[in-house]
Structure formats: structure tokens, C-alpha cells
Amino acid sequence: MAQAVDITPVGRAVEAAMLDLVGRIREEANERGKVASGKTLASLRTSVQSAPGFVVGTLTGGSWWRYVGNGRGPGGMPPIEPIRAWIQSKGLSLSPYAVALKMAREGSRDYRLRRTNIFTDSIAAWEDSDVLEAVGDAGLKAFGEAYVQQVRDTFKPTA
């Protein structure tokens, strides 16, 4: 009979890892001056789901995340309303339509400067962090103990 695995510690480690990821993204956005209204960072949500044998952590956010830091390339007219909201939150005196036209022609400033995406940079740093190592350690402990017990139960010495 298979040994039941208590994955509760793994779930806690994944929850801590997901919160660490959001913290890294927020920190990177602040360091790069990419927080205007705060809407992008406020849209970030994490969830952790588990079932016997696995734990999954998920990060979701507003669909515009892919433009934060690296911008958008030329082509197609970007939506005006988010640009208007950004201009207002920054307290700038610009025409949203003129900004959108320039972005359509040349791409955004971050794109033209070949900046990197805050989210992908934060995720890459997170993947090499101690917090993910803790997730691996928790999984190894939980499943390793179950495996050892299963081996003991299967290969009992006969007298």
C-alpha cells in the first residue's frame, strides 16, 4: 500500500515562494521607476493549489504586464485610455493621442532603449533564489520520507 504523503509543508513553501516573487516584482518596478498609478502591481495575485501528490503556485496579473519595462514595439495604434491614465498619474502635460501615435510609429521609449521586462527579470532572479531551493527541500523531505517508508513496507525481511 502506498504511503500517504503530507504535502502541507510543500504547500507552505510554495506560498512563501509566490509571495517572494511578487515582492521581487514590486521591488524591481519601484527601483526602475515603473510605478505610475500602481494598477499593474495591484493586479498581481497568487494562488496555491494542492492535491495528493502535487502543489501548484500561480501568479496572475493584468494583461499589460508584458509591456512593463521593455515596452511595446511599433505597429498598430495602442489604446488611448491607458495612456491617458498613465499621463494623469505621472502629472504630465502630454497629448495621449500624440503619445499613442509616436508609440505606433517608433515603439515605446523602453522598447527603443531595449530595456528588459521587469517581470521576466524578476522571475529569472527568483528561479535562482533560496526560496525555490526551500520548495525543493520541502518536496524532497515529504516525498523522500514516503519513498523510504514504502521501501521498508515492501521489502520487509522474512524470518
- pLDDT, tens only, 6-50: 888 999 999 999 999 999 999 999 998 888 888 889 999 999 998
For the entire predicted model, the pTM comes to: 0.78
Mark whether 145 and 82 lie in a shared domain.
no
Is 44 among the domain residues? yes
Is 99 among the domain residues? yes
Mark whether 56 and 133 lie in a shared domain.
yes
* Longest pairwise C-alpha distance within the chain: 88
pLDDT at position 57:
94
Mark whether 150 and 131 lie in a shared domain.
yes
How many CA atoms does the CB half-sphere of 146 hold within 13 Å?
14
pLDDT by residue for the chain (159 residues), tens only, comes to 556 778 889 999 999 999 999 999 999 999 988 888 888 899 999 999 988 878 999 999 988 888 887 888 999 999 999 899 889 988 999 999 999 999 999 998 889 989 888 999 999 999 988 998 898 899 888 888 777 777 777 787 765
Best CA proximity match to 56, nearest among 7, 112, 92: 7
* Integer Cα distance of 153 and 159 in angstroms: 15
Is 17 among the domain residues? yes
Mark whether 94 and 130 lie in a shared domain.
no
Mark whether 96 and 50 lie in a shared domain.
no
Mark whether 2 and 50 lie in a shared domain.
yes
DSSP code of residue 8:
H
Is 15 among the domain residues? yes
Mark whether 99 and 139 lie in a shared domain.
no
Give the residue numbers spanning the domain of 105: 71-114
- Total domains in the chain come to 2
